[in-house]
């Protein structure tokens, strides 16, 4: 790893590929919740395949040297890793700002104290609905009370707290109550992320797709709240790309801004990219982060515009949306290099229009809950998190 | 929400916001929970003095000594107000 030792303008050139800013560390796929919208792949990595403590520590050192500024410690539920504190310390020592992305289950005073002492900077907490029973039903587990306690602990510790809510047909109508919940919990930021359909979530698309009117009402509500709140808490609306006719600038471009490391050390340009056939994703056990980012075929596959179809290559928006999402193009058309069907200019846009019309059509549909190795029952199980996982 | 810079304001970074030197990109950064702000030019030198101890006139004074001829007295208070309006300085 080379760091420019001389100031810019005195002969050094910028690295060929701009360096990544952020690292999504999926520390484990184990999770106490069973959310139907889970975007993790159908095939989860077993705990026996997970990177060891030392692997994550070494990765954080490499990432800091390479220019990564932020890491999101996520999963699954990262609190299920008993060595989370050691990983936080490694990131902090490497100069990387740490954010814990958690369901809140298992976050007690002692654990938060240990994480804060290790250098944890901020927390993002998921909630499934503003109503406790509805939240528990969507999560497939009694968890709302634990989330409420976790929020209070994070506030008391003085860490910035963000609320993350995946929106779909069963909670969009509660948008006002969700914002009010965030205010009551004293959060700094509310991420209102319209469900995207990858991994497990694709199985539940029919049950989760909202009606068009639901979205329109929710969007208006967000506008009203933004005006009223004046920027605090910050409301982030992640667009529902099935409905807007506009492709999202997925990940800010392939291998452009951030990278994801899966529990087993697979390094990906985005969390869903493991599904792409023939990607041959590199593993941090086998290669340096520098080689993976700069040189690996996987990270170079959809960089720039040479790979694009004519639809994208000739489009004035090609440098704004980068052709949209490769994983969605693959999931819907079988060809990851096609224009994202979410884009109104895509020849495959009819596929997305057809799905969008189905949204909210019938009464509530049952979820296919994510229970590894078990049949879906729809019954929330008992509260409490096993530290050893499942 | 911007207020005129008063002489007794001693700017400090809001909690959980870090000023970091990015050695790889040779620039200063403000690092927030969900975003990174690249501080171009001498912005980093200004923010580095926002330690809760220096008043705005003191910051202007120190920078004027370091960068003679620069329009510090007019530009720096405006810059500090902008950062306060964003919620990054208190």
Interchain CB distance below 8 Å, A67 and B24 = yes
Confidence (pLDDT) at A379: 41
Is there a contact between A247 and A241 (Cβ–Cβ < 8 Å)?
yes
Q: Token digits for A345?
A: 């200019």
pLDDT at residue A303 above 50?
A: yes
User: Mutate which of A7, A70, A98, A289 to disrupt the B interface (most B C-beta within 10 Å)?
Assistant: A70
The answer to whether B22 and B40 have CB atoms below 8 angstroms apart is: no
Max Cα-Cα span within chain B? 37
| CA-based radius of gyration for chain A | 21
CA distances from A274 to A249, A290, A305, A337 (A): 19, 20, 22, 15
pLDDT greater at residue A389 or residue B53: B53
Average pLDDT estimate for A285-302: 97
Mean pLDDT of chain A: 90
Average pLDDT over every residue of B65-88: 92
N-terminal to C-terminal alpha carbon distance within chain A: 38
Tokens standing for residue B85: 């309006």
pLDDT band, residue A13 (cuts 50/70/90): very low
For residues A371 and B29, the model is more confident at B29
Residue A172 has pLDDT above 50, yes or no: yes
Cis previous bond, A250, omega within 30: no
Q: How confident is the model at residue A275 (pLDDT cuts 50, 70, 90)?
A: confident
Among the residue ranges A67-81, A133-147, A211-225, A351-365, the one predicted with the least confidence is A351-365
- Residue A358: what pLDDT? 77
The single residue listed with the structure tokens 């998190």 is A385
Number of helical H runs and strand E runs in chain A: 16, 9
Which whole-number Å values give the CA distances from A19 to A69, A125, A259, A290, in the listed order? 10, 28, 10, 9
Tokens of A169: 């047909």
Is A380 a residue whose pLDDT tops 70?
Answer: no
State ipTM. Answer: 0.89
Q: Using CA atoms, how far apart are residues A273 and A330, in angstroms rounded to an integer?
A: 10
Q: How many Å apart are CA B62 and CA B67, to the nearest integer?
A: 9
Give residue A253's pLDDT band: very low, low, confident or very high (50, 70, 90).
very high
Residue B25 is nearest to which of A67, A97, A230, comparing CB atoms?
A: A67
Q: Taking the CB of residue A272, how many other CB atoms lie within 10 A of it?
A: 26
Q: Residue B6 has what pLDDT?
A: 72
pLDDT at A372 > cutoff 70 = no
**A189 part of contact set with chain B, CB < 8 Å:** yes
Give the pLDDT mean for A360-380. 66
Contacts with A97 from chain B: Cβ below 8 Å? 18, 20, 31, 33
Model pLDDT for residues A178-216, shown as the tens digit of each residue = 999 999 999 999 999 999 888 899 899 989 999 989 999
Look at B16 and A159 and tell me if their CB atoms are within 8 Å: yes
Q: Rounded CA gap, B44 and B31, in Å?
A: 12
Residue B5's pLDDT band, with cuts at 50, 70 and 90, is: low
Q: Is it the case that residue A385 has pLDDT exceeding 80?
A: no
Q: Model's pTM, two decimal places? A: 0.90
Q: Can you read off the two tokens belonging to residue A293?
A: 């980012």
- pLDDT on residue A43: 86
**Residue A61 host element (H or E):** helix A53-66
pLDDT single digits (tens) A28-65: 999 999 999 999 988 899 999 999 999 999 999 999 99
Please give the pLDDT value at position A139. Answer: 97
Measured in angstroms, the CA of A166 and the nearest CA of chain B are apart by 17
Tokens 């938060």 sit on residue: A112
Share of chain A above pLDDT 70, in %: 91
Residue contact B36–A21, C-beta within 8 A = yes
Q: Collapsing DSSP states into helix, strand and coil, what is residue A240?
A: coil
Residue where the block lists tokens 């801004």: A257
Task: Band the pLDDT of A3: cuts 50, 70, 90.
Answer: very low
Ramachandran bin of B26, using left for φ above 0, alpha for ψ from -120 to 50, beta for the remaining angles:
left
Nearest one of A66, A142, A120, A127 to A294, comparing CA atoms? A66
pLDDT, tens digit, 9 for 90 and up, residues B19-68: 999 999 999 999 999 999 999 988 999 999 999 999 999 999 999 999 98
Sign (positive/negative) of CA torsion A300, A302, A303, A309? Answer: positive
Whether the CB-CB separation of A21 and A67 falls below 8 Å is answered with: yes
Instruction: Report whether pLDDT(A227) > 60.
Output: yes
What is the reported pLDDT for A242? Answer: 84
Q: Which two tokens stand for residue A108?
A: 């007690």
SS3 category, A256: coil
Asked if residue A258 lies in contact with residue A251, where contact means CB atoms within 8 angstroms, the answer is yes
Q: What's the DSSP call for residue B86?
A: T
Per the structure block, which two tokens stand in for A270? 């985005």
Residue appearing with tokens 């690292």: A23
pLDDT of residue A219: 96
Kindly determine whether residue A122 and residue B16, on different chains, have CB atoms separated by under 8 Å.
Answer: yes
Whole-number pLDDT of residue A373? 56
Strands (E), chain A: 22-26, 70-74, 97-102, 122-126, 161-167, 189-194, 234-238, 258-261, 267-268
Sign of the four-CA dihedral A275, A87, A381, A147: negative
Identify the pLDDT of residue A159.
Answer: 96
pLDDT of residue A388: 32
The Cα of A155 is separated from the nearest Cα of chain B by a number of Å equal to: 12
- Residue A66 C-alpha, separation from nearest chain B C-alpha, in angstroms: 7
3-state SS, residue A236: strand
| pLDDT tier at A377, thresholds 50, 70, 90 | very low
A117 near A110, Cβ under 8 Å? no
**Tokens 């109508």, located at residue:** A173
Instruction: List the single residue in B23, B29, B34 with the smallest CB-CB distance to A189.
Output: B34
Q: Is A9 on the interface with B (CB under 8 A)?
A: no
């Amino acid at each position: 790893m080379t760091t420019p030792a001389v100031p810019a303008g005195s002969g050094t050139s910028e690295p060929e590929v701009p360096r990544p800013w952020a690292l999504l560390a999926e520390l484990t796929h184990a999770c106490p919740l069973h959310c139907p919208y889970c975007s993790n792949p159908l095939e989860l990595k077993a705990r026996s395949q997970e990177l060891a403590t030392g692997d994550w520590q070494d990765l954080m050192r490499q990432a800091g040297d390479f220019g990564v500024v932020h890491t999101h410690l996520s999963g699954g539920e990262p609190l299920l890793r008993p060595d989370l504190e050691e990983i936080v310390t490694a990131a902090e020592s490497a100069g990387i700002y740490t954010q814990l992305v958690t369901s809140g289950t298992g976050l007690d005073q002692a654990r938060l104290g240990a994480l804060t002492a290790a250098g944890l900077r901020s927390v993002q907490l998921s909630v499934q609905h503003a109503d406790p029973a509805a939240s528990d039903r969507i999560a497939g587990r009694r968890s709302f009370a634990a989330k409420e306690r976790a929020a209070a602990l994070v506030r008391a510790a003085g860490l910035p707290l963000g609320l993350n809510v995946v929106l779909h047909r069963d909670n969009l109508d509660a948008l006002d109550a969700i914002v009010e919940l965030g205010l009551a919990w004293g959060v700094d930021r509310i991420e209102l992320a319209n469900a995207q359909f990858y991994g497990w979530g694709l199985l539940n698309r029919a049950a989760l797709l909202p009606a068009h009117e639901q979205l329109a009402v929710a969007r208006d509500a967000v506008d009203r709240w933004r005006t009223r709140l004046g920027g605090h808490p910050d409301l982030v609306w992640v667009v529902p790309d099935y409905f807007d006719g506009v492709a999202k600038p997925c990940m800010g471009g392939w291998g452009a801004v951030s990278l994801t490391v899966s529990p087993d050390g697979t390094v990906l340009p985005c969390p869903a990219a493991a599904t792409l056939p023939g990607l041959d994703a590199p593993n941090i056990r086998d290669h340096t982060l520098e080689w993976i980012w700069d040189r690996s075929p996987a990270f170079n596959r959809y960089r720039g515009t040479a790979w694009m179809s004519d639809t994208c290559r000739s489009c004035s928006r090609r440098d704004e949306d980068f052709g949209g999402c490769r994983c969605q193009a693959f999931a819907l058309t079988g060809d990851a290099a096609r224009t994202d069907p979410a884009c109104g200019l895509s020849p495959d846009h009819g596929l997305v229009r057809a799905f969008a019309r189905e949204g909210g059509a019938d009464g509530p549909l049952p979820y296919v809950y994510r229970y590894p190795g078990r049949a879906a029952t729809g019954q929330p199980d008992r509260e409490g998190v096993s530290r050893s996982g499942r | 929400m911007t207020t005129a810079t008063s002489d007794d304001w001693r700017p400090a970074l809001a909690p959980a916001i870090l000023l970091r030197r990015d050695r790889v990109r040779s620039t200063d950064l403000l690092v927030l929970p969900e975003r990174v702000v690249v501080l171009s030019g001498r912005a980093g030198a200004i923010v580095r003095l926002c330690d809760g101890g220096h008043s705005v006139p003191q910051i202007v004074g120190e920078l004027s000594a370091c960068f003679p001829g620069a329009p510090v007295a007019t530009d720096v208070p405006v810059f500090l107000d902008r950062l306060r309006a964003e919620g990054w300085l208190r």
